[in-house]
Amino acid sequence: MKCRFVNGTTDNLKEICDELGARGKMDLGPVITTVQGVIDDIKENGDKAVLKYTEKFDKASLTPQTMKVTAGEIESAYASLQKEDPELLRIMKKAADNIRVFHERQREEGFIMDTAKGSKIGVKVRPITVAGVYVPGGTAPLPSTVLMDVIPASVAGVPRIVFCTPPRADGTVAPVILAAADIAGATEIYKVGGAQAIAAMAYGTETIPRVDKICGPGNIYVNTAKRLVYGQVDIDMFAGPSEVIIIADESADPKFVAADMLAQAEHDKMASAIVLATGEKLARAIWEEADRRSDAAERKDQLEGSMANYSSVVCVDSLDTAIAFSEELAPEHLELCVKDPEETLKSINNAGAVFLGNYSPEPLGDYFAGPNHTLPTSGTARFFSPLNTGDFYKKISVINYNEESLREVYKDVAKFARSEGLTCHARSIESRFEEV
């Protein structure tokens, strides 16, 4: 199944980028109406509404008592995984170690600094009190995402980590998901999916606690729900379908590049895999190799939609042109399959995660390397960062002046306040030094 083949130059860069970035320009009006209805229902009816939508969308009949995963269910999940796939359990624990070590390097400390006359100013860093993590069910369980989204909160010291994921029709959760959540440090797990899970965590129900921040991926309804509750709670980012750009020069192996294209395209029908190849010979070789490999792939339905509508091999005239395309599109994932990837990295400002060289494929970051795979999509890497430990902190400013240090500056502060017409502000300062 062939994707598009495009000749890209600096002259048509804007036109092609507008076309390749079209996924971010969908009409969300009908989705917003539907999701707002779910949110309003859960705000008003709590558990009753959550259970209603769980039965409607997940075909699972639960009660408030069975909505929360028990310690026994977690023990059974470990036993099942140990029996059926102990090697996967070992790999998950190793991946969790890698992720934890990386995120521990992101821990933040506040500071207190001395200023004039004994005054002190600074910042105190505190973890948020309750974090909410959502991981979808979809066509396959995603234990890697469980690790990536829960571990940063755990490393930050969040005392309560609420984890929500859709139940299967029999009211259970896949053992691999429960084991991953426990390994990562979730303190409580609920069998709730979709927009209803986001609403329940944002406003709280009789069973599910209100959280301070919601993180994690999901479909268009989940992400729309996150947008609508933002402000009631914080969220990690506005996420869309997954995407990769691969910049390839004459040093790249077409087999590697084509395989990496398909790895991204198999996510779902709206996933985007774009190759920016220098020279037509290389571009054609990658294009043909991707077509050949896609015929032997398993997830043909997802691949076909992605390759036909959102993936392209773009033949560019130079590495500089390729970088210009990438910077405009600001991809979630960027692979630099080029002769000197470290030098090329110096020109990259807009990307969620960058993979250097022919032996750093994007799936390495998805599962094992350590940096977070929850990344900004749809061009938002221009201003959003990957999920990180700092996302689970809040900062408190500290100001500590004594009489002597305030006396030195109080007239300046009062004049500044009066310049804005705020005379009570000025008098608040001056009152400390009025003659009795």
- Token readout for 314 is 């773009």
Strand order in the sheet with 160-165: 188-191, 160-165, 130-134, 213-215, 234-235
- Of the candidates 106, 164, 107, 103, which has an alpha carbon nearest to the alpha carbon of residue 130? 164
- Token readout for 263 is 């790895």
Q: Tell me the C-alpha to C-alpha distance, in Å, between residue 20 and each of 8, 199, 223, 270, 272.
A: 12, 32, 21, 12, 8
Contact 263, 237 (CB under 8 A): no
* H helical segments located in 253-339: 254-265, 280-294, 300-309, 319-329
Strand order in the sheet with 111-114: 111-114, 120-127, 393-400
**Catalytic machinery residues:** 332-333
